[in-house]
Each structure stands twice: as C-alpha cells, then as structure tokens.
Structure 1
Amino acid sequence: MDTWSYFRGLCFFGSQTVLPWDSAGSQCLINQALLANQVDWPLQYFLTVYLNNKAPREAQNYWIGLSTDVNKDWKWTDGIGSYFWATQLLRNVNESASASAAMARLYNWRWIPSRQTAWFNWICQRRPLFCSSPAVPKNGGIMLSNQIYKIGSSAYYYCIYGFVIVGRSVRICLENGTWSDLPPTCERKYSVIAWRVKFNVTFEYKCSFGKAVQGNSTRVCMADGTWSGGVPTCADVECGVPPPIENGKFFLTSNSSAISNTAQYSCDKGYRLVGISVLNCGPNGLWSPAVAPLCYGSSTFQVYPSSNHNERQRCYQRL
C-alpha cells in the first residue's frame, strides 16, 4: 500500500505500520491529511475493495476518524455526528475510556469499536495535490503556470497560425484533482469578404487574457439597424488581497494582485504549515484554491518510528 488511491474527489492511503488512534491522526496531519472521515456506504464499499486488494495479510484493523466524545456520542474528527454504522456489532462501548472505530478484516472491513490505546493500522484521507496532464488540442498547444499540475495551476491554450480556439482558452486545476471545463479545440479560420448582420443577432465581446469586460458584454442588432447598449471596455483582472492566516504570513510574487500573480504562505517559528502553500490569482478574479492553508503548533506533529517514511506524496492512482 505504497500509493494514494482516488475516489470521489478525495485521496486515500492505508498505512503499513500500527499506532494508537491519536498517533495515527498525527501521522495523517504530517501528510496534510485526516483519518478517513464521514464514511458513507459508497465510500465504505470503495475502502473495502481497496483494503481487500492492498492491505498486507498481517494487517487486521484500520483506524478511521470516528470516536466518542465526553457524552459517548460518536462523532467524526471534524465534529459532525455519525448516524451510519457499517457493522452489525453493538455501537456502545461499556468502558470509561474513550473509544474509536476501526475497519476489521474479521468482519469484511466493517467497523468495530475499540479503545484508542490499541495499536492498529490506519487510513488517511485528503484532497488531491495535483491534476493529471491536461489534453493538448490538435493544431494547438498549452502553456502552464506550473509544470507539475498543482492544485490552482492554470493551463492556457493556443492554436497555431490559421486556426482559432473553440471553447475555453483557460482551464484551472480544481481542488478535486480535475481540470475545469472541457478541453477546447482548434478549428480552421476562414476569411469573410463581405457580410451583413441580421436583426436580433447577438455579438459578444471578449477581452484578451488578463483583462475582463467592463460594461455590457453582449450587444444586439436592433430593428432600426443600430446596436443596443454602448461599447464596453477591457480592464485588468484583480484578485485583491489574499486571505490572511493565523500564526503565519504571505508574500506576493509581484507588487500587485493581478492575474497570474501568486501568494506564497509560510508559518511563524514553532508552527507548521498544513494545506496548499501557494494561491494563484485566476482569470475569474479569485484566488485559487479558495481556502488558505493553516499553521499548526509543532507539538501537534509528534513523529513516531515508522518503516514507511517514504510514503509517496502525490495522489495519482485511480481505482
């Protein structure tokens, strides 16, 4: 189980070593992840197939991010209560110690309650860090803002001389690891010597990359032979100030927040960054990803001996 696997916009990784529940959660945080969270029936089925195919024979139980609170109510690590139990075993734990849920091989990976001090394998869950390679159109090409397709990266499409783009010329690597919109195509350009515009035909104005239409983006041919509205203008796209973070800071790669500019985040001494460290100003005037990273205290990241320190960081394998 040396790779991340992809399902429904999320990446999953099963450990080869065992730890108590709290320590397993800390190991997930080091990989910018959480213990498997908010597991429903479709995800339970995926994880069952995943463990049947990839779990080592000696691995019997895998921690997930479900535990009891002070009132003995079962909740996920994000605080949401659980009303779904993938087991026919009793949910109640008749002990004073805190309990968590684990997927058990003995019960075909259905859940069992267990004391958090037990040493089990674990499953981490996180959003993808990268997109796959974007499609390249025939008679055209792509320019990339980031050569490794990180989340928030942009792919700018162009066509060779004599062809024009049909579709979106810019695609964004989204937080679920997929590219926005469909890839455009390059169609042959034809010259028009003379033409007339008929009544009720609509023209749409577009600006060059890095600029946005100010005013009416469309105009209609009226019955009296004139065009509706006024002629719009093109203005530079601005994303504004990036979102701040506690116990950290950011700096811009240029003195403006214009398109293609990036915001690089870092944490204060004694804190560690969790999340995407670079935000990009996109053509829609928004920072991408939309959520800034977080800074956790270093005490959160207690490292435990493991034979699997070289776990791969990139999520690319799809089942």
Structure 2
Amino acid sequence: MLLWKEMSMEMGNVTTVQEFILEGFPDIQHLGKVFFLVHLLAYLASIVSNAIIVTITCADSRLHTPMYFFLSTFSFLESGIISAAIPKLLVIFLLGRKIISLPACFIQAFVTVFLGSAVFFLIAVMSLDRYVAICKPLHYPTIMNLKTCFLLVTACFALAFSLITGLVIKVSQLSFCGPHVIPHFFCDLGPLIHLSCSDTRSVEMLAFALTSFILLTSLLITLIAYSNIVVTVLRLPSAREKKKALSTCSSHLIVLSLMYGSCVFIYVKPKQTNRLDSNREAALVNMVVTPLLNPVIYTLRNKQVHQALRETMCRMKILRIK
C-alpha cells in the first residue's frame, strides 16, 4: 500500500485512478446468467480434473516419476492461473460487479503473468524430460533424478518471478489518471499499459522483450528437443517402438499448440494498443478452454493414470462400504 501512497504524492494535483472497471464482454451481458453457468461448470471441471491429477500422482507410488512430477506441477500452476482470473469473471456475469481496486488489479496481473511464465518454462523442462527419456534412455534415471527435478521446477519459478516482478513494478509506477475502463475480463499488463497517461514506450518495449523472451525461448527449447525426438524415433527398428515413443509425446504436442498459439497471438507484438478486443477472446480460450482440455489430453491415452484412478475409486468404494 505504501507504493500507491507514494505514487499519489508524486503526482501532486493529478487525479489518480484508485479503481478500474473490468468491461468483460459487454456484447453478451444480457446472457450473463447463462454464461455464468457455462463458465462456472468449466472452471469447476478444470479445478477438479487438475486436482485429481495432483492427488493421483502423490498417492500412487507408480506415478512417482519425473514425467508425472512435472505434470502434477503443471496442473497446480494451471489451477492457480484460472483461480486468479475466472472468479472475477463469474462475478461480472452473475452480478455485474465490474469494479476492481488498483492494488487488487496489480496483484491479479502479477499472479496470472507470473504463473503463466512459470508454465512456459515448465513446458520447456517437460520437453527436455521427454528428450532424455527417448533419446538417452540408459542415462535417464541418472540424469532425471529427484534432486534434478526439484531444481528444474525451482528454476522455473525463480526465473519467472525475477523477470515478471520487475515488469509489474515498472507498470505500477506509471500514472493512471483516466480512463479507467479495462477492455478485458481480468487485469492483464497490456490493457493496463494502454490505460496509462504516462509515456509508456519504454515499458511497452520491456514488456514485449520479456514476453518474447519467455515464449520464444521455451518454444525454441521445445522445438529442438522434439526435433531430436523425431530423428531418434525414425531410427527405431520396429513400428511398435515408434508408436509407443510417439504416444508419450502426442498429448504434450497438442497442449503446446493450444497454449503457444493463443499466447503468441496475445503477447508477442510491440504495441499493446491494437487488437485488445481480439486479445480478450484469445485470453478467454487460454484461461477457460485450454485448462479444461489439458487434463483430458494428458490422461486420455495414459494407461497408468487410468489404472491408478480406477484403483483409487475402488479403494474409496470399499471404505464407504466399511
């Protein structure tokens, strides 16, 4: 809160915006209750399915492997991102309450961008994990041990935090003296920069540089890893071995295409003043549709997860009978 007081004192007689109005989706406000129900069901389904993945991974010793450790961390991050943004959207749809305070807006922006950045670094790590598992199978247990996995996940969080914290602080130091309507359903950095009455050129370039670095670096690592995987798979002697190797990566590739497609469209452009409306639709896909599909995609063809889930449900039934 001291930051906001200092900003107000420095600005003197200039009226400082103390709250924003999240515009949401004005064209469909007459269908608010219908969209509230749809998004509530999608949100609950995403939270429950991701929670199941985390719980099953922790409970079943057969899933105590690097791949499932990374997958459960991925599910945890996805749940955090949607929990930071979707509840406010539900309030907008149901009650029409669009006001959000300045501190709450920046907290929401920080949480979503920080966790989102950590997700992309984690995706790169998951790609490297698949590369080592398929291309270096004899060395896999030695390279991807428990200590290495924890260090990699910690590095994802630390790198995302160090990059995003500086950017959010820079945006929070901008002057906001009106307008105060955010053409979005949550506080994202792009619309906030657009609303500032300060000179935002340096902040825009910093945001562009950081988001490009995060997205394109993780994408480059992923492409290099999967290029080597494809070369290795094509050299396998039997069609059965090729099919098995590719099946472990197919779900990862589907998730990658969904996430990178929407996020590159939203963030990798130097000027945030253009296409804010289209960004809103792309962000909705990234916030609602992708987290709902990811658990299904990752577990749909995974026999180990299916078996662990069936056994857990059987144990729950036995406990109920007793």
Give the shorter-chain TM-score range: under 0.3
Between structures 1 and 2, the one with greater strand share: 1
Q: If you compute each CA radius of gyration, which structure gives the higher value, 1 or 2?
A: 1
Instruction: Return the TM-score normalized by structure 2.
Output: 0.22
Instruction: Return the TM-score normalized by structure 1.
Output: 0.22
Q: Which has the higher contact order (CA 8 A, sep 6+)?
A: 2
Between structures 1 and 2, the one with greater helix share: 2
